Amino acid sequence: MPPSRLNQQAFLSLLREASAAGTPHHHHAVLVKLGFHRETRVNNAFIQAYCATGRVEDARKVFDGMAHRDTVSFNSMIHGYATSGDVGSARRLFERVPAPTPVTWTSMVAGFCRAGDVASARRVFEEMPERDLVSWNAMISGLVGNRKPVEALVLFRRMMAEGFAPNRGTVVSALSACASAGALETGKWIHVFVDKKRLRWDEFLGTALVDMYAKCGAVELALDVFTRSRARNTCTWNAMINGLAMNGYSTKALDMFRQMELDATAAPDEVTFVGVLLACSHGGFVDVGREHFDMISKKYGIRLILEHYACMVDLLARSGHLQEAHKLITGMPMKPDLVVWRALLGGCRVHKDVSMAETAISEMEATCSGDHVLLSNLYASVGRWSGVEDVRRTMRRKGIEKIPGCSSIEINGSIHEFISGDKSHPSYDDIHAKLAEITTKMQLQGYVTETADVFYDVEEEEKEQALGHHSEKLAIAFGLIGGPPNVAIRIVKNLRFCTDCHKFAKLVAQIYNREIVVRDRARFHHFREGSCSCNDFW
C-alpha cells in the first residue's frame, strides 16, 4: 500500500490512541511495513508518542534513524529529554540544532526549570535572540515553581515593560508569585488588568485570585472574589477554606466547609480536610477536630495523608493533649515525617514539656537548626542551662547552623527583604532611628524585652540588641517610614514568630494605630489595637 496522505492520517490517528493507552511501540512494526518510516511527519509523531509515555530511549532511536529531520523533530526530542529531567542530553542536542526557534529555546528553559537548575534556565533565557510570550511564561512559571517568587515578579514587570501583554497563563503564574511573596499591591494590579482586558474568568483564574488574596492576608478581598465567582470547583473551595484557616478565621472556615458539603458541583478531597483541621488547630477546637478527623475516612472514604496527621497532632499538642498526640503519631500507618514531629515539638514548647520534647527530637533525628533552637529555648525557659549547652554542642558537632530570619515587605510595587542583623539596606540608618523611637515609646507603655529565647551566656544588653535586629522588626520599622500612612503593613517571614517580636508587633499596632499583618512559617497574625488574631495561641 503506497504511503498516501490519507493513510498517514489514519495511521497518525491510530498512533494517538496508542499513545494515550501507553502502547505506541505496538505500532512501530506497522510503520515500516506501510512504508511510513521515510515520512518525517510520522516519525515526529512517534518521537512525541514515545516521549509522552516515558520511553525517551526509543524516541531517540527513531530520531537517529530519520533520513530527514525538521525543527519539530529537534523540538520534540529536546522536550522529551527536558521532561524525564535529562537536561544534559537536551543541551547537547540543542547545540546541534541548525536554526533554533523560540520553541526550541523555550524547551531548554522549561527543562532546566523542571530539573531545578534555575540559573541555567535563566542563562538560556537571556541568550535567546528572540523571545515570544511562551518563552516569558516558561521562565516566569519556572521561577515560581522553584520558589523564587520575587525574581518571577521582577521578570513579569520586565516583560510588561518590553511590550508583551500577559495572557491567562502569565496571569495565573504571576498571581501565584504574588501569593508566595505576599505582594498584595501587585496582585491587586493584576486583578484590575484581568477585569480591564476581560480575560476569560473560569474556576482556575478565580481560584488563583482567591488564593493570592488569602495568602496576602486580605481575607475580605478573597471572600469577595469567591462570592462573585460563578465557576467554582473543589480547588476554589479549598483555597477559600484554607485561606480562612491560615488567617485565623477558624469558625468562618468551618462554616465554609458546611456550605461546600451542600454544593453538588464540588466534593471535599484531601486538601479540603487539611484546611478544616488547620482551622480546628488554630482555633483550639479539639472535639470538633476529632470529629472531622474521623469523618475523613468514615464518611467520605478519603485516605488519610501525612498532612491530616500533622494538623491533628498540632491541635492536640498545642491544646495540652501531648500524650494523645504522641499516641496518634506512633499509631500512624505511615512513617511520620519531620512536619508531624515538629507539630508535637511545638506543643511541648507551649506547655514546657521537656521530656516529650527530648523524645520528639530523638525520634525525628532532627537536622534542622529550628528544631534544635526550639529545644534550646525550652531548656532556657525552665532554667536547664546544661541542656542549652548540650544542644549547642550537638549543633556544632553536626555542623548545623542557625537559619537567619528573613522578612519581606512590598512598598510601592517593590519587594524589600530584610535579614536578621543585616545592615545593608539603603534606608538602614532611618530604620535604626525609627526602631529607637519605637522602643522609647514602648518603654513608656511598660515594654520589657523578652530575652528568654536568646542563648543564656549572652549578656542581657547583647540579648536586647540581638532581638532588636530581628528581621520582622526591621521590616515593620521600614513599613512605618516608607509606606503610605493608614495602610496595613504586610510582612512575610520565613520562620516562626518569636515571643518578643510578637509582643513588639502588638504594641506598635496600638501606639501607631496601624494594622500589621505578618505571615510566618505556620500562619497569619493580624495585629490591631494591641491584640493579635491568634489570641497569643500560636
Question: Per-residue pLDDT tens for 95-105?
Answer: 888 888 888 89
- pLDDT tens digit sequence for 313-331: 999 999 999 999 999 999 9
What confidence score (pLDDT) does residue 464 get? 45
Distance, CA of 118 to CA of 150 (rounded, Å): 14
Distance, CA of 538 to CA of 317 (rounded, Å): 11
Three-state secondary structure string covering 523-535: CEEEEECCEECCC
- Residue 16 in grid coordinates: 494517538
Distance, CA of 518 to CA of 86 (rounded, Å): 40
Helix H or strand E encompassing 357: helix 354-364
Three-state secondary structure string covering 425-487: CCCHHHHHHHHHHHHHHHHHCCCCCCCCCCCCCCCHHHHHHHHHCCHHHHHHHHHHHHCCCCC
Grid cell 532546566 is found at 112
With b meaning 16 or more CB within 10 Å and e meaning fewer, what string describes 482-500?
bbeeeebbbbbbbbbbbbb
For 166, the 3-state DSSP assignment is coil
Closest among 419, 493, 415 to 155, alpha carbons compared: 415
- Residue 416 in grid coordinates: 524589600
- pLDDT tens digit sequence for 133-187: 999 999 999 999 999 999 999 999 999 999 999 999 999 999 999 999 999 999 9
Strands of 425-479, DSSP E: none
- pLDDT tens digit sequence for 179-235: 999 999 999 999 999 999 888 888 899 999 999 999 999 999 999 999 998 889 999
- Residue 476 in grid coordinates: 515593620
Q: Which residues partner with 247 through β-bridges?
A: none
Distance, CA of 469 to CA of 421 (rounded, Å): 5
DSSP 209-220: HHHHHHHTT-HH
**524-528 and 531-532: which strand pairing?**
antiparallel
- pLDDT tens digit sequence for 233-281: 999 999 999 999 999 999 999 999 999 999 988 999 999 999 999 999 9
DSSP 95: T
Mean pLDDT of 427-451: 88
What confidence score (pLDDT) does residue 499 get? 86
Helix H or strand E encompassing 135: helix 133-145
What confidence score (pLDDT) does residue 13 get? 60
- CA distances to 1, 42, 104 from 72, in Å: 27, 11, 9
What confidence score (pLDDT) does residue 73 get? 87
∠ CA 228-231-236, nearest 5°, is 85
Distance, CA of 406 to CA of 367 (rounded, Å): 20
Distance, CA of 221 to CA of 184 (rounded, Å): 11
Would you place residue 425 in the very low, low, confident or very high pLDDT band (cuts 50, 70, 90)? very high
Is-above-0.85 flag for pTM? no
Closest among 449, 452, 479 to 464, alpha carbons compared: 449
Distance, CA of 137 to CA of 102 (rounded, Å): 12
Top-confidence residue, 449 or 34 = 449
* Ramachandran category for residue 182: left, alpha or beta (phi over 0 → left; psi -120 to 50 → alpha): left
Distance, CA of 343 to CA of 315 (rounded, Å): 8
Distance, CA of 193 to CA of 383 (rounded, Å): 57
What confidence score (pLDDT) does residue 451 get? 60
What confidence score (pLDDT) does residue 456 get? 46
Give the rounded percent of residues in the chain with a pLDDT score beyond 90: 55
